[in-house]
Chain A
Amino acid sequence: MRLLRHLAADDFKQRLARGELPVRVGPYIYNVQSNLPSVVEGFAILYGDFQIAEPGEFVDYNVAIVHSGLLQRIRGKAKFLFDRRSPFDSIPAGQAYAFLEWGMNWCVSVHANEYLTLHAAAVSRGDRAIIMPGTPGAGKSTLCAALGLNGWRILSDEHALIRPDTAQIIPLCRPVSLKNESIEVIKSFSSEAIFGPVSKETHKGVVTHMKADLHADSHDTKPLRAKAMVFPRYARDEPQRLSPRRRTDSFILAAYHSFNYSLLCEAGFEAMKTLIENIDCFDLVYHDLNFALNAVNDLPDRHSGI
């Protein structure tokens, strides 16, 4: 089983430039292509422990981030390509790495309809897996990164893939995306955090990515049983608390933060119902990261489902 870091530097660079680098990411295989130096460097840092797929395996997503043409190179622009076509406008080359990661997210958000996909982080410790839906600005990724640096396994920063009619999460571990102040927060939190390139002036501000596969089992593909759903909310002026959240409320909020709940119609409703019935739901309001970590570490296990 070959990992990316087993490739010689030149070989890696050439394969990436030619688009001959199929990488296993959770249940999928991405074939990645790029000729931009920041992407080559970033990918080497953040995907070093990912497996290279065997030749002849089916590639799910062909992605690339490249200058497309001389004019683009001169203008300092790059494009994200999916199946060699670009679904998005071109972007400044300085933001290329961020856009590769966003593009790779988009592939799953839009195509992975064999699962109920929630816009959520998912982490696990032992046999307990926790889903953390991502209201924008709520601090999901910051908390996810901190948990990952604190002994938790990061199942995903962006997509909680739920197997329908179960409460099982399918791991899809990729780098954690951190923005603006969160970057400094995590840097001060732990010196063991490993970061990729920094993209400035994106539509979300300053963005970088943290290596998320720090755990021995990070690339294990076995599904894990979700035990809880925690809705994090970073709020400087509110008292910190971890409190139970009603199931119906949680259902609605999780559905709102799902990429394909509506697309799946009844199957989506049933999948969400099965999930919510079998987990406990909480609100977590915090402004101190350590409070949040302790709250997640000590989550009550009131679960009484199947």
Chain B
Amino acid sequence: MKTLRLKYTAFHNRRITWVQMETTLPVRTQTPSTEFALLRVTALPDYLRKVITVTKKWRIDSMGRFYNPAEDTVVYFDTRSGDTHLISDFAAYVMQQLDDQHLSTEELVNRISPAIGSSNIPELTMDVSRVLEELVALDILKCE
């Protein structure tokens, strides 16, 4: 039987994503419910991978809006793309360092480590890099 076929497209339904941030930081990151596993950005397709080096500068063109009700995930609305993301509080924290700032990964790590009381710089650098990679894949972040 032919399925119902709409001649009109309704409207642009922009992306709403769950991002599973692989961070192991002081604040425990709870994974979102499994029923929405399909929407997780866990693997980046090749064409989205960028080479992350610690000396590259990061920026956010125009900071969007956050909904942060003191849970370990934060809702972020990206005003440029119209996408909405559920990100870890750590990712939101990293992003907020880039408000009006161009910072390299190294500068970010140096800024963050005293604030969260982490002295394991190599591990923190890896976590920050991973978060930055995810944010690039979501078109939130630019690298220059």
A-side interface residues, number (CB < 8 Å) = 31
A263 near B12 with CB under 8 A, answer: yes
Q: Which residue of A lies closest to B67 (CB)?
A: A273
- Residues on B with C-beta less than 8 A from A261 are 16, 84
Q: Choose, from A33-41, A62-70, A251-259, A288-296, the stretch at the interface.
A: A251-259
Partner of A247, one of B1, B4, B69: B69
- Residue A246 is within 8 A (CB to CB) of chain B in the complex: yes
Q: In angstroms, how far is the closest chain B Cβ from the Cβ of A65?
A: 14
- Residues on A with C-beta less than 8 A from B4 are 88-89, 91, 203
Q: Report how far A277 CA is from B1 CA in the complex, Å.
A: 45
Q: Choose, from B71-79, B93-101, B107-115, B125-133, the stretch at the interface.
A: B71-79
B84 near A269 with CB under 8 A, answer: yes
A window 70-116: CB within 8 A of B: 86-89, 91, 109-110
- Say yes or no: A203-B3 contact (C-beta < 8 A), given A248-B73, A251-B67: yes
A251 near B75 with CB under 8 A, answer: yes
A88 near B5 with CB under 8 A, answer: yes
A266 near B10 with CB under 8 A, answer: no
Q: In angstroms, how far is the closest chain B Cβ from the Cβ of A109?
A: 7
- Residue A260 is within 8 A (CB to CB) of chain B in the complex: yes
B69 near A262 with CB under 8 A, answer: no
- Residue A276 is within 8 A (CB to CB) of chain B in the complex: yes
A262 near B12 with CB under 8 A, answer: yes
- Sorting the interface of chain B by its residue count into under 10, 10 to 19, 20 to 34 or 35 or more gives 20 to 34
- Residues on B with C-beta less than 8 A from A201 are 1
A248 near B74 with CB under 8 A, answer: yes
- Residue B8 is within 8 A (CB to CB) of chain A in the complex: yes
B window 38-87: CB within 8 A of A: 65, 67, 69, 71, 73-75, 77, 79, 82, 84, 86
Q: In angstroms, how far is the closest chain B Cβ from the Cβ of A115?
A: 14
- Residue B18 is within 8 A (CB to CB) of chain A in the complex: yes
A87 near B11 with CB under 8 A, answer: no
A109 near B10 with CB under 8 A, answer: yes
- Residues on A with C-beta less than 8 A from B67 are 247-248, 251, 269, 273, 276
A252 near B86 with CB under 8 A, answer: yes
Q: In angstroms, how far is the closest chain B Cβ from the Cβ of A267?
A: 11
Q: Report how far A252 CA is from B12 CA in the complex, Å.
A: 17
B window 1-28: CB within 8 A of A: 1-8, 10-14, 16, 18
Q: In angstroms, how far is the closest chain A Cβ from the Cβ of B137?
A: 18
Q: Which residue of A lies closest to B3 (CB)?
A: A203
- Residues on A with C-beta less than 8 A from B16 are 252, 255-256, 261-262
Q: Report how far A86 CA is from B7 CA in the complex, Å.
A: 9
- Residue B119 is within 8 A (CB to CB) of chain A in the complex: no
- Residue A265 is within 8 A (CB to CB) of chain B in the complex: yes
Q: In angstroms, how far is the closest chain A Cβ from the Cβ of B37?
A: 14
Residues of B within 8 A of A (CB): 1-8, 10-14, 16, 18, 30, 32-33, 35-36, 65, 67, 69, 71, 73-75, 77, 79, 82, 84, 86
Q: A251-B67, A262-B14 are in contact. List 19 more A-B contacts (CB 8 A).
A: A87-B7, A89-B2, A110-B10, A110-B11, A135-B35, A203-B4, A246-B73, A247-B67, A248-B71, A248-B74, A249-B33, A252-B32, A259-B10, A259-B11, A262-B13, A262-B16, A266-B77, A269-B84, A273-B75
A-B contact pairs, 6 of them (CB 8 A): A109-B10, A203-B4, A253-B36, A259-B10, A262-B14, A266-B79
Residues of A within 8 A of B (CB): 86-89, 91, 109-110, 135, 201, 203, 246-249, 251-253, 255-256, 259-263, 265-266, 269-270, 273, 276-277
